[in-house]
Structure 1
Amino acid sequence: MARPMPALLLTRPEDQSERFARQLGDAGPVVISPLLRIEPLSPDLPSARTLVLTSLRGAEAAARLNVPQGTPALCVGEATAEAARLAGLDARAAAGDAEALYYEILSLQPPTPLLHLRGRHARGDLARRLTEAGLPTEERIVYEQTPLPLSEEARRLLAGAEPVVVPLFSPRTAELLAAEGPFAAPLLVVAMSPAVAEAVVSLHPAQCRVAPHPSASDMLALTREVLERGRGSHASA
């Protein structure tokens, strides 16, 4: 008989963690301990013919800041594109990371000026690189990402002896988790990209799997696989 799945620790903001847990379905014990709090900002936006969106929060900000309906939006991945469509934008998704989005934009040569809506901490330096490539791009910071400590429940979980599955979606979240370690529990990390995996090397995870593509669907599938294998590896005689 197999024991229950290993515990699952989710560190994204609470709404995203709850949605991910629902999508997983029967995931066994789940602890949600956000390592970032999202705080919306309301800067003045310059006029732009095309938006560049590298996160779901940027897409939400477009709606909050009254970007005109129908504005073209080039998005990092499908989840961000879906949020942009809900905001009334004409959204197109790239392959899931900032580098793929950069090359997608270069290939499309969209109408300029472009406007990148992003958080305080972002990778890829898209606005500068796109401008240098001949596509004038401005950027505005539309949300803060304030670090949060692990909850007491998460600390107890990570102090135990049983494996803990930890999906990590960004290098920044991975860095924040690594700064809270080391942990006694064996970590089964599911990383959205090699950069995310690199950020938790100092934690010496028992296992670190990188999603085949940096997409929400691949993270969901790989997390489910790691959970199920973890349950199978604890089968009793």
Structure 2
Amino acid sequence: MKELVKITNLSKQYNQQEVLKSISFSIKEGELFSILGPNGAGKSTLISLILGLAKADRGEILFDGRKLDSDSIELKSMISVVFQNSILDPDLSVKENLFLRAYFYTNNWKEAKSLAKQKLADVQASHLLNKRYGVLSGGEKRKVDIARALLNTPTLLFLDEPTTGLDISSRADMWQLIHRLKEKYHMTVVLTTHYMEEARDSDNILMLDAGQVMAYDAPETLKQNYHCLTLEDVFLTIIEKGREHYECISL
């Protein structure tokens, strides 16, 4: 598969603390890619750099073979993100939230309404159109958030902890939806999650700790390389790498 994103020797400091330490990896076109790591590992900083919300101190980010920086308006228009904390207005209806944002892309109210309704239908949430966003359940809000992120029909979609706070049934429903949308729009999807079982379907996994790449490979390869039965054990082995001997136990 073709490389969509290529990261080379990327570094970032905040308050003289190196948050990312010369990391390198690539994300291939059309894959499901997971970024795992404990709090403070550098996941949020990495995503901010790729989204162009922050500037790297060193290193390079290529998107579709072209350098991605704060001035790359055309390239950034091909990227979207669903944040863990929604950016939609809880006091507005779903319709008002989506119509306003769709207008930014169409500059035409008729087209904006059609676009918003189409994306809401894609996430199976057309019945929420006239409801106030703030009264929706967690699963309903997440569907509307994804509809918002699809308004620009992105090539690359970031999902930041997409199932946090959802019950088991809603989480399963959300993942069926994500896989369906990925196939429909031929998107590359990048996931950050604390749920190891959600990363098992990834094509590749990047594990970060203290701003460094600790592992980067396919899930099955990681389990084989670390002689573990589960991704949970791989993760714990890497995070507890200071131990000379760690016995993997299936959770």
TM-score range, shorter chain: under 0.3
TM-score by length of 2: 0.25
TM-score by length of 1: 0.26
